[in-house]
Structure 1
Amino acid sequence: MKTLFTVGGSQAAVFGVAPLAAAARNAGHEILLAADEPLMAAAQSVGLPAVCITSERMRYGQDGMTAAARIDALLELTRQWTPDLVVGGLSHVPRVLAAALKVPYVRHIWHIAPMARRDVTAVAELQPQLERLGLAELPDPDLFIDLCPPSLRPPGAPAGRAMRWVPRVSQRRVEPWMYTRPEGRRRVLITAGTRNLMLDTSGSSLRRLVDELTGAGAEVLIAALPEAAERYGGELGDVRIGWIPLDVVAPTCDLAVHHGGATTAMTLVNAGVPQLIVPDNGYGKAVAESLSGFGAALLVDRHRPPAGQDPDEVVAAGCREILAEPRYAERTRTLAAESAALPTPDEVLRDIEALAAR
């Protein structure tokens, strides 16, 4: 079986699809990952054979603006390497490709945010591309793979094949402090993922949070891009800052403060780590609302703080609450157990193989 995996957006999209792509490769199938130039390094870091189709990063919600160029690039690729099946994510462009090639299409996403309205709009914007390719309509996916634990799925989420979240990130040399807990201290991780240098806060505000946490006796780690470490490292006091393999360090943490990214959130859930989320966009807010609604996190909207309250103090107070109240960790461990009981990528691969064999 030859499977074309397609990703766009942030590095998180690469990390999210990597376990399934690796499972297919390990089973002896041929795979290629079609990605944007900014994602090529991430693909290489997790050992996936990747080919660049566009020079710029695709942004979700912009299918209509970039569809023609992306579809043409994918069609050119598939004239040279014809897949038996296409796997896509948030974008519907790979769905158009699969319809044009007359091969099965698998949608593989983390369905935690309501997307029905946005999906309808995106599909409508692709109508000119369907007409250009002589397609009367865009068929539904042949298989929908959902990485989201059932307890976090939004109302009205489509029925799908559940799959266990398997953490996958770019690695670096692992040092003992990464996989061991500090003796006699709590450990707090702060990260803004791979799209931003820092959380949606100024350096001085972040320093205030760091001082608050270290003053209370906690060890603070900041998982950040190398350029962020270079820019902010000297301003943040007694912290470890830089690229930290999240899957390795997460099990040693008592709390994580982050932006609401899917890969970040689920890697922390997988490790049973409660979270304080400061969303940087609408998707991050949906993640925060879902996790906080389950009792595994707190949401702090810095742009809409409670009346008369300092948003920095709200963040600090949230950290104190999570560290003092065991119920947040207990609820997160419940989610971790639910996720661990879901089918593995190897198990879900059998469904994909059956599709290709029709």
Structure 2
Amino acid sequence: MRVLMTVFANSSHLFNMVPLAWALTTAGHEVRIASQPDNAQAISDCGLTAVPVGNDLNIMELARSTPREEMANGGALTLNETRPEKLTWDYVHDTFAQHTQLYDYMADRAMTDELVEHARQWQPDLVIWDALTYAGPIAAEAVGVPHVRMLFGLDHWGRMRGIFHQLAAEQSPEDRHDPVADWLGAKGAPYGVAFDETLSTGRATLAVAPPWMGFPTELPTISMRHIPFNGPAVVPDWLRKPAHRPRICLTLGLTLREIADENVSLGDFVRAVADIDAEVVATFSEEQLAEIGELPDNVRPVDFVPLHALLPTCSALVHHGGGGTRTNAVMHGVPQLIVPNWLWDERDIAQRLAERGAALVTEVPDLTPERLREQLRRLLSDPSFQAAADEIQKEYAALPSPNATVAELERVAERDRTP
């Protein structure tokens, strides 16, 4: 069959889809990945076929220039809000109204026009769309083929849509305005596509986190083991040699820079690990290295190293809680110290891993050089963290692989095609 995958121009969201694209290809299916032109080279570098649609997105430049409060989940209205007392009708309604504007930017009219045009010309049998790329379901419905929403973490959108519908049922009919229906209805209208809820959540959802990490929903869901892909990579010479003492991966450069101030410098955090009996592999940019100055003897600075090659040699990982990084750690059974970001599900999954005993969690305001050193020593000295990480690793390995998931996607394509 022909499978059209689509994702907005962001490397981490693309890399989330790559192993499944390979699995579909090696099963004999023809796969194309459609994205904005500034993602085409990255797709090709992954050994896959790119279809440039729309205009360059330049999403990272936009992110660097946008204040946090104006970003998705960075302000007062967040899709990852889970406190019941906050989830009122007005809050949930207004959160969707705000986020539809942000998500429309990531898959705008120009991208949708060209994606629909390509789908009509190529006639795919199945569309798989990144969960933030809403040109995907429009194109699928425009040509009458099944479509699957592929998650990149926890399903905060699907969870919040369930809450929205529950709260809407409690409102008077004239007050049940649905900003998502307005948005996707208008987005689909030029192509003859009317709104129904599958435009929002897919005819099926492909979940890439173990069920115990997620939220209960009534959405039709296919579970798949997330195989982390870190992009094209070369294993450095030093990593091909055995480590002679415990190894720690520290990939907190941006967070450390954000919380360093006139009283605590970036160098203070790095020097805090100097007396730990471990090799610390730390990711820093040239600018950060210049600010730090002299490094402790046990710190190895790197600009980039493939985590799937590094983490099997590590006894601990310190990171933001991002999806690719934490999944690499879970897959390789590495205890984690997580300083969670706020972008999507970093705090939720960090807490779940901590509850299972495989991680420690420290919020950004609480991170000090002394706390970093103390928590790293706990991870290295207490064997319960490694035992818990090993148990989660076994559970994770039991989930269906991308190769095993292909058969389920074939059934979706056959069963749900519009006559």
The alignment partner of 1:69 has SS state of helix
Match of 2:221 in 1: 160
Contact 2:181 2:195 in 1 (8 A): no
Match of 1:23 in 2: 23
Percent identical: 28
Question: RMSD of aligned C-alpha atoms?
Answer: 2.8
Distance 2:24 2:43 in 1: 15
User: How far apart are residue 255 of structure 1 and its match?
Assistant: 1.0
C-alpha distance 72-216 of structure 1, shift in aligned 2 (>3 A): same
The alignment partner of 2:271 has SS state of helix
Match of 2:67 in 1: none
C-alpha distance 329-114 of structure 1, shift in aligned 2 (>3 A): farther
* CA displacement, residues 224-248 of structure 1 (integer Å, 9 cap, x when unaligned): 6xxx2x2223436142312101101
Computing the radius of gyration from Cα coordinates, the structure with the larger value is 2
The alignment partner of 1:126 has SS state of helix
TM-score by length of 2: 0.74
Distance 1:39 1:153 in 2: 29
Segment drifting more, 172-181 vs 334-343: 172-181
Contact 2:9 2:57 in 1 (8 A): no
Is 1:56 matched up with 2:118? no
C-alpha distance 132-251 of structure 1, shift in aligned 2 (>3 A): same
* CA displacement, residues 256-309 of structure 1 (integer Å, 9 cap, x when unaligned): 111111111101110101111122324222332232232222222113x3xxxx
C-alpha distance 44-134 of structure 1, shift in aligned 2 (>3 A): closer
Match of 2:251 in 1: 191
* 1:203-218 correspondence to structure 2 within 5 Å: 205-218=265-278
Distance 1:330 1:199 in 2: 32
User: How far apart are residue 39 of structure 1 and its match?
Assistant: 3.5
Match of 1:125 among 180, 183, 203: 183
The alignment partner of 1:298 has SS state of strand
TM-score by length of 1: 0.86
User: How far apart are residue 20 of structure 1 and its match?
Assistant: 0.8
Match of 1:357 in 2: 414
Segment drifting more, 143-152 vs 235-244: 235-244
C-alpha distance 20-182 of structure 1, shift in aligned 2 (>3 A): same
Distance 2:222 2:240 in 1: 33
Match of 2:347 in 1: 285
* 1:82-97 correspondence to structure 2 within 5 Å: 82-91=123-132, 92-97=134-139
Match of 1:338 in 2: 395
The alignment partner of 1:87 has SS state of strand
Match of 1:146 in 2: 207
Amino acid at match of 1:63: Y
Contact 2:255 2:320 in 1 (8 A): no
Match of 2:193 in 1: 135
Match of 2:84 in 1: none
C-alpha distance 82-222 of structure 1, shift in aligned 2 (>3 A): farther
Contact 1:46 1:168 in 2 (8 A): no
Segment drifting more, 46-55 vs 268-277: 46-55
Distance 1:197 1:37 in 2: 30
C-alpha distance 118-7 of structure 1, shift in aligned 2 (>3 A): farther
Is 1:71 matched up with 2:127? no
C-alpha distance 214-312 of structure 1, shift in aligned 2 (>3 A): closer
The alignment partner of 2:48 has SS state of coil
Distance 2:138 2:160 in 1: 17
Match of 1:115 among 157, 160, 184: 157
C-alpha distance 95-293 of structure 1, shift in aligned 2 (>3 A): farther
Match of 2:92 in 1: none
Point out where structure 2 has 5 or more consecutive residues left out of the alignment: 60-70, 73-98, 165-178
* CA displacement, residues 59-107 of structure 1 (integer Å, 9 cap, x when unaligned): 8742234532331131233244332110012223312221122111012
The alignment partner of 2:272 has SS state of helix
* 1:253-268 correspondence to structure 2 within 5 Å: 253-268=314-329
Match of 1:99 in 2: 141
Contact 1:111 1:157 in 2 (8 A): no
The alignment partner of 2:337 has SS state of strand
Amino acid at match of 1:217: D
Match of 1:231 among 270, 287, 293: 287
The alignment partner of 1:165 has SS state of coil
* CA displacement, residues 187-218 of structure 1 (integer Å, 9 cap, x when unaligned): 1112259xx69764449644323222232122
Contact 1:64 1:126 in 2 (8 A): no
Match of 2:68 in 1: none
Match of 1:219 in 2: 279
The alignment partner of 2:215 has SS state of coil
User: How far apart are residue 5 of structure 1 and its match?
Assistant: 0.9
User: How far apart are residue 338 of structure 1 and its match?
Assistant: 0.8
Is 1:295 matched up with 2:351? no
Distance 2:354 2:155 in 1: 13
Match of 2:370 in 1: 313
The alignment partner of 2:108 has SS state of helix
Point out where structure 1 has 5 or more consecutive residues left out of the alignment: none
Count how many residue pairs are aligned between Structure 1 and Structure 2: 346
